[in-house]
Structure 1
Amino acid sequence: MPMPSGVPVLHGGGVRLRPFADGDVPFVVAASHDSLIPLITSVRRSSSTEDAVDYIHRQHARLAAGVGYSFAAAAADTDVAVGQISLWTRDIARGRVSTGYWIAEAHRGRGFARAALATLSDWAFTFPEVARLELHVEPENAASWRTAESCGFDREGLLRCWQRVGSEDRDMFVYSRVAPRET
Structure 2
Amino acid sequence: MPYTTAPVLPPGTLSRSPQPVLPTGDGLVLRPWRGRDVAAVHEAFQDPLMHQWHIRRSDSEAEVAGWIEGWEKEWEGERDAQWAVVDADSDRLLGRVALRSIHLVDGLAKVAYWTTAAARGQGVATRATATLTRWAFEEIGFHRLELLHAVANEPSCRVAEKAGFALEGVKRSAALHQDGWHDMHLHGRVRGD
Q: TM-score if structure 2 supplies the norm length?
A: 0.83
> Matched residue pairs, number?
176
Query: What value does the CA root-mean-square deviation take over the aligned residues?
Result: 2.0
Alignment of 1:60-99 (within 5 A): 60-99=72-111
SS of the residue corresponding to residue 84 of structure 1 reads strand
State the distance in 1 between where 2:53 and 2:104 align.
23
Change (3 A) 1:39 1:65: farther
Change (3 A) 1:121 1:180: same
Q: TM-score if structure 1 supplies the norm length?
A: 0.87
Task: Please name the residue that 1:15 is paired with.
Answer: 28
Change (3 A) 1:101 1:84: same
Alpha-carbon displacement from aligned partner over 1:72-91 (angstroms, at most 9, x marks no partner): 01112211111111012532
State the distance in 1 between where 2:63 and 2:54 align.
13
Match of 1:50 among 54, 57, 62: 62
Following superposition, the deviation at residue 57 of structure 1 comes to 0.9
State the distance in 1 between where 2:107 and 2:61 align.
38
Task: Please name the residue that 1:160 is paired with.
Answer: 172
**Residue identity in the other structure for 2:169:** G
User: Percent identity at matched positions?
Assistant: 32
Asked if the contact 2:164–2:189 (Cα under 8 Å) also holds between the matched residues in 1, the reply is yes
State the distance in 2 between where 1:93 and 1:40 align.
30
State the distance in 2 between where 1:15 and 1:113 align.
10
Following superposition, the deviation at residue 40 of structure 1 comes to 5.2
Asked if the contact 1:14–1:115 (Cα under 8 Å) also holds between the matched residues in 2, the reply is no
Structure 1 segments unaligned to the other structure (5+ residues): none
State the distance in 1 between where 2:33 and 2:54 align.
15
Is 1:175 aligned to 2:154, yes or no?
Answer: no
Q: 163-172 or 151-160, which moves further after superposition?
A: 163-172
Alpha-carbon displacement from aligned partner over 1:24-53 (angstroms, at most 9, x marks no partner): 12111101212243565575331x221121
**Residue identity in the other structure for 1:99:** V
Asked if the contact 1:14–1:112 (Cα under 8 Å) also holds between the matched residues in 2, the reply is no
- If you compute each CA radius of gyration, which structure gives the higher value, 1 or 2? 2
Task: Please name the residue that 1:27 is paired with.
Answer: 40
> Greater relative contact order: 1 or 2 (C-alpha under 8 angstroms, separation 6 or more)?
2
SS of the residue corresponding to residue 102 of structure 2 reads coil
Q: 116-125 or 32-41, which moves further after superposition?
A: 32-41
